[in-house]
Amino acid sequence: MTSDWQSTACILCECNCGIVVQLDGRSLTKIRGDKAHPASQGYTCNKALRLDHYQNNRGRLTSPMRRRPDGSYEEIDWDTAISEIAAGFKDIAESYGGDKIFYYGGGGQGNHLGGAYSGAFLKALGSRYRSNALAQEKTGEAWIDAHLYGGHTRGEFEHAEVAVFVGKNPWMSQSFPRARVVLNDIAKDPARSMIVIDPVLTDTAKMADFHLRVRPGTDAWCLAAMAAVLVQENLCDETFLAAHVTGAESVREALREVSIVDYAQQCGVDEELIRVAARRIGTAGSVAVFEDLGVQQAPNSTLCSYLNKMLWILTGNFAKRGAQHLHSSFGPLLRHAPEIGRTPVTGAPIIGGLVPGNVVPEEILTDHPDRFRGMIVESSNPAHSLANSAACREAFGSLQLLVVIDVAMTETARLAHYVLPAASQFEKAEATFFNLEFPHNTFHLRHPLMDPMPGTLPEAEIWARLVRQLDIVDEADLAPLRSAAKQSRAAFTEALLHAVGSSPMLSKVLPYVLYETLGPTLPEGLSAAAALWGLAQRVAISYPDAVRRAGYTDGNALFDAILASPSGLTFTVHEYEDDFALITHRDKKIALHIPEMLDEIRELAEPVPALTTPEFPIVLSAGERRAYTANDILRDPSWRKRDPDGALRVSIEDAEALGLSDGGRARITTAAGTAEATIEVSEAMLSGHASLPNGYGLDFENAQIPGVAPNVLTSTRWRDAYSATPWHKHVPARIEALPAP
């Protein structure tokens, strides 16, 4: 065992808090927060302390696997796997077109760096359709953002006078730096306020000054009523709107028509509480808002994204301390532009460059000539995480070729023709592109803590081997770049610009070129960081003043600093007025007028058809974040100290009406499927509302671990009209008590 503390990061949520660890061989024996990390500053939650259950889980893969005709798997060597996989995808591209090859993934909460190399192989084949977990969550908001200002915003909660959380429980799900410290600071300060809009009495709601406990699925009426209060009671910032916003009058016209008393009745929140909360927003010095899956995976999700942004736009809470901000990005995960095309079979909207997850089975299970025929899944588990697991399994099983790159034999891997074992996130250079903060934004290149487990490879090397197998890049084209990389960053920059200008193929497979030429010159273990060189150049060009304020003269200086900063660094320092420059519209103004959303606001006044029925009277939230749930990479159930069965939480009223007892068992039935769960009777739930946690029902060591896999109960047909995001948080269900054994 070594007493040295090594810097790395937690990989269980988008915060990726910096941690330091001590090792005993390949085990992470001691873990604590890294005080040198510029964003988390030593903070971490309880989940990071369990990361050895990921690193050393008994399900780690250590050899490429090939499926036999009988469905079993055999180990094969890497050369055979790479050769056969490359040939298989090349055959699909030549026979049907490269656009019939679909890519899903690119990394979980902390491993985005390997996914940066996937594009080289995919573009070389002509593949252009892709998706990942963001298409189940953020594309509706991205569609709204693209129309409003062309980028992603994040609230500066650390300094906000009023913090508003819509379908969000940051005490449990974190999502911004030092979340619990910030929440406690707000709760203790009588001059500050917290507003929570959520049907569940969450940990955050218990801390709130205002808890607007909406009926499940009625957030749009609550948000519309709050925005209407701002308009009808003259609480808008007229100076800000006149100087920085277009289309405000059409929005105000729609909101003037809102009957606040009727909308309050519709959402089940006291009218006066709505008015008082809205007035608190309208009179505050600064307001920051965070929407999350509670509304993003429920009815009217895109409309809710539009309406909750009215709370801070109408009140001028932008481009000032403690308010809402656009921000720099190191490697954008979503393209913030309006809809980019349609899917080839169903014609579903492709927003942010991502195919909606709810249409994936339909894009495969068809005889349509443009259906997906091959699929690569990287560091993701769509057979478990997408709606209607049964349809996903059928679709993936019908593919001509399915390849999974992962650390473990996931539910999706068990359907694949080939499974390639990746090095863990602590065995290779890694990074996240969830760099979302303002005015100081941070980036952390994590150095490997140990060599890859024997038999595994980092994703960057896997992709490089696949590209080499295609034999599309001449070594003669790479030789000058290898030589220049050994000389200096400036020499390499000049040589690369000349090379890609002369060869379209080199431009198409640029990540591979960087890995093969610049990668070998980087410090030991950091060859995969070569892709960051190009991103550092882009950052320096896109935000020159902010990069200089952070201390870097150009992209090369920033890149070298990234390599030399094991605890991460601040890569941009913005000033508040920079927010306006980050708006992509030519006039640098926020464009509020979105005709489709104004129509949706007006339609809220019409009679609302019930989504529940006498057959399925309960609204089930499928996938709640709890103290001992995380993403699916924590597959070994022994990491949990509480709630080992992943209990179904029900209200006191429903328990009495349905004959459910705490600790008893119940059957859950939806139009999509059925499952059994242990019951927890909880005051946190409203009557008619129940919840299941995420991260349960996984297949571990050929035995399904306790709990329900939520997507056996969800349907691909329940989805948003604009973005096709799923209604995982609003599943009509029936719950029946089971007799005691």
Considering the domain boundaries, does residue 188 fall inside one? Answer: yes
Does position 52 have pLDDT exceeding 90, yes or no? yes
Measured CA to CA, the distance from residue 558 to residue 397 in angstroms comes to 45
Domain co-membership, 310 together with 396: no
Domain co-membership, 219 together with 75: no
CA-wise closest residue to 518 among 560, 547, 476: 560
Residue 704: what pLDDT? 66
Considering the domain boundaries, does residue 683 fall inside one? Answer: yes
CATH number for the domain harbouring residue 172: 3.40.228.10
Measured CA to CA, the distance from residue 472 to residue 459 in angstroms comes to 20
For 421, the token pair is 């074992």
Question: Which of the four pLDDT bands, split at 50, 70 and 90, describes residue 229?
Answer: very high
Domain co-membership, 200 together with 128: no
Considering the domain boundaries, does residue 332 fall inside one? Answer: no
Match 């591209």 to its residue by tokens. Answer: 93
Per-residue pLDDT tens digits for 412-437: 999 999 999 999 999 999 999 999 99
Per-residue pLDDT tens digits for 56-99: 988 899 999 999 999 999 999 999 999 999 999 999 999 999 99
CATH number for the domain harbouring residue 364: 3.40.50.740
Residue 706: what pLDDT? 82
Residue 335: what pLDDT? 74
Q: How many domains are contained in the chain?
A: 3
Can you give the residue range of the structural domain that contains 173?
A: 153-326+588-598
How many Cβ atoms from other residues are within 10 Å of residue 162's Cβ? 29
Domain co-membership, 177 together with 322: yes
Domain co-membership, 193 together with 314: yes
For 691, the token pair is 């919840």
In the chain the first and final C-alpha atoms are separated, in Å, by 47
Domain co-membership, 322 together with 200: yes
Measured CA to CA, the distance from residue 326 to residue 581 in angstroms comes to 9
Domain co-membership, 666 together with 695: yes
Domain co-membership, 164 together with 95: no
How many Cβ atoms from other residues are within 10 Å of residue 56's Cβ? 16
Measured CA to CA, the distance from residue 724 to residue 524 in angstroms comes to 44
Match 């309960």 to its residue by tokens. Answer: 618
Helical packing angle, 530-542 and 510-517, nearest 10°: 120
Per-residue pLDDT tens digits for 718-727: 999 999 999 9
Considering the domain boundaries, does residue 478 fall inside one? Answer: no
CATH number for the domain harbouring residue 622: 2.40.40.20
The DSSP secondary-structure symbol of 190 reads T
Considering the domain boundaries, does residue 662 fall inside one? Answer: yes
Where is the domain boundary, 539, 570, 598? 598
Domain co-membership, 248 together with 377: no
The DSSP secondary-structure symbol of 509 reads T
CB-count burial class (<10 Å; 0-12, 13-18, 19+) for 320: middle
Does position 532 have pLDDT exceeding 70, yes or no? yes
Question: Which of the four pLDDT bands, split at 50, 70 and 90, describes residue 505?
Answer: very high
Determine contact, residues 315/230, Cβ cutoff 8 Å: yes
Per-residue pLDDT tens digits for 93-143: 999 999 999 999 988 788 999 999 999 999 999 999 999 999 999 999 999
Higher per-residue confidence, 630 vs 86: 86
What mean pLDDT do residues 608-612 have?
A: 90
Domain co-membership, 164 together with 311: yes
Determine contact, residues 516/484, Cβ cutoff 8 Å: no
Measured CA to CA, the distance from residue 351 to residue 333 in angstroms comes to 12
How many Cβ atoms from other residues are within 10 Å of residue 545's Cβ? 13
Considering the domain boundaries, does residue 440 fall inside one? Answer: no
Residue 336: what pLDDT? 66
Measured CA to CA, the distance from residue 186 to residue 162 in angstroms comes to 8
Domain co-membership, 365 together with 390: yes
Domain co-membership, 248 together with 315: yes
Considering the domain boundaries, does residue 417 fall inside one? Answer: yes
Considering the domain boundaries, does residue 530 fall inside one? Answer: no
